[in-house]
C-alpha cells in the first residue's frame, strides 16, 4: 500500500506521526497535548522533589525531645565529661603505673552513648628496693587521689598504697638500725682486739727489794 505525504496516524493524545515530503518518518508534537503533558510532568517532579527534601530533613534532624528528655540528655552529657576528666586525672598522675581507662555507657534520649562510669587499672609493684617501693607507693596514692572528687574505691587504693609505703619505710629503718648496730659491734670488737694485743705486747716487770 502506498502512503501519501499527507497521511496521518494517531498514536495517542500527545503525539501524531506522519511522513514528510521526503517520506522520512518524523515525530511531531501536538502543541496543546504537549503543554498539558509538560505541566503534569513538572508538577509531578516538583512533588517528588518536595517529598525527597522532607524525607532528608526527617532523617538528618533528630526527633524533637521533650523538656524532660532534654534535661536528661544535658545531665548525661555533664556526667560524661566529669567521668572522662576523672579517669584522665588518674592516668596523668599514674604515668607508667596506670593502665587504659574503660567506661560504662548509657544511651540518652537523643540516641547518643554517654559514659556514666569508668575505671583505670593501676599496678602497685613492690620495687627492687625499699626506697623504690616507697616511691611507687607514693605515686599510686597520688594517682588515686588525683581527681577532684575521689570515689570510695580511690580512697581504698590510696590507703593500700600508704600501708605499702609504711612497710617499706619500716624496712628502711630496720636496715639502717642493723647497719648502725653492725658498725657499733665492729667498732667494739676492733677496740677489744686492740686492747688485747696491747696487753700481750707490754712486758711484765717484777720488782724485788
Averaged pLDDT for residues 93-99: 91
pLDDT digits (tens, 9 = 90+) for 45-58: 777 787 777 666 55
For residues 189 and 50, give the distance between their C-alpha atoms in angstroms, rounded to a whole number. Answer: 106
For residues 123 and 141, give the distance between their C-alpha atoms in angstroms, rounded to a whole number. Answer: 11
Tell me, what's the pLDDT at 35?
67
Contact (Cβ atoms closer than 8 angstroms) between residue 97 and residue 123: yes
For residues 143 and 122, give the distance between their C-alpha atoms in angstroms, rounded to a whole number. Answer: 9
The grid coordinates listed for 98 are: 596506670
Mean pLDDT estimate for the chain:
76
Amino acid at each position: 500500500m502506498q502512503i501519501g505525504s499527507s497521511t496521518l496516524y494517531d498514536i495517542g493524545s500527545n503525539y501524531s506521526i506522519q511522513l514528510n515530503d521526503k517520506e522520512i518518518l518524523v515525530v511531531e508534537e501536538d502543541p496543546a497535548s504537549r503543554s498539558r503533558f509538560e505541566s503534569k510532568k513538572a508538577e509531578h517532579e516538583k512533588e517528588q522533589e518536595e517529598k525527597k527534601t522532607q524525607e532528608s530533613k526527617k532523617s538528618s534532624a533528630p526527633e524533637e525531645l521533650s523538656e524532660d528528655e532534654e534535661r536528661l540528655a544535658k545531665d548525661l552529657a555533664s556526667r560524661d565529661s566529669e567521668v572522662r576528666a576523672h579517669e584522665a586525672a588518674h592516668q596523668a598522675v599514674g604515668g607508667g603505673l596506670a593502665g587504659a581507662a574503660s567506661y560504662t555507657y548509657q544511651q540518652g534520649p537523643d540516641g547518643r552513648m554517654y559514659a556514666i562510669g569508668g575505671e583505670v587499672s593501676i599496678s602497685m609493684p613492690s620495687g627492687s628496693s625499699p626506697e623504690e617501693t616507697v616511691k611507687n607507693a607514693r605515686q599510686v596514692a597520688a594517682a588515686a587521689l588525683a581527681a577532684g572528687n575521689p570515689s570510695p574505691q580511690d580512697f581504698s587504693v590510696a590507703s593500700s598504697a600508704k600501708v605499702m609505703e609504711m612497710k617499706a619505710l619500716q624496712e628502711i629503718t630496720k636496715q639502717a638500725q642493723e647497719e648502725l648496730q653492725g658498725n657499733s659491734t665492729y667498732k667494739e670488737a676492733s677496740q677489744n682486739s686492740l686492747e688485747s694485743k696491747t696487753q700481750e705486747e707490754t712486758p711484765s716487770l717484777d720488782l724485788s727489794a
